[in-house]
Amino acid sequence: MNRWPRLVVGLAFAASVGVWPAHSTARASAGLPDRIADQEFWSLTETLSEPNGTFRSDNLLSNEIQLQSIIPDLLARASPGGVYLGVGPEQNFTYISALKPKIAFIIDVRRGNLQLQLMYKALFELSADRADFVSRLFTKKRPDGLGAESTAADLMNAYWDIPTSADAVYQQNLQAILGELTKKHQFPLSPGDLEGIEYVYHSFYWFGPAITYNSSATGQTGGRTTYADLMMLTDRTGESRGYLATEANFARMRDLESRNLVVPVVGNFAGPKAIRAVGGYLRDHGATVTAFYLSNVEQYLAMDGIWPIFCANVAVLPLDENSTFIRSARGQVLGNMLTETHGCSVAGRRPSAQGAVR
Three-state DSSP string of 152-168:
HHHHHHHHHCCCECCHH
The list of the chain residues with pLDDT below 50 reads 1-16, 23-28, 331-342, 346-358
Please state at what angle helix 191-207 crosses helix 167-179, rounded to 10 degrees: 140
* Residue 219 confidence (pLDDT): 77
Cα–Cα distance measured from residue 118 to residue 135, given in angstroms and rounded to the nearest whole number: 18
Cα–Cα distance measured from residue 203 to residue 136, given in angstroms and rounded to the nearest whole number: 13
Q: Report if pTM > 0.85.
A: yes
Domain segments of the chain: what residues? 11-294+310-318+326-336
Cα–Cα distance measured from residue 15 to residue 147, given in angstroms and rounded to the nearest whole number: 33
* Residue 296 confidence (pLDDT): 87
Q: What is the mean pLDDT of the chain?
A: 85
| 65-79 confidence digits (pLDDT tens) | 999 999 999 999 888
- Angle (CA) 209 213 218, round 5°: 95
In one-letter notation, the amino acid at residue 84 is Y
* DSSP state string for 31-68: ---S---HHHHHHHHHHHPPPP---SS---S---TTTT
Question: Do 186 and 38 meet the contact criterion of CB atoms below 8 Å apart?
Answer: yes
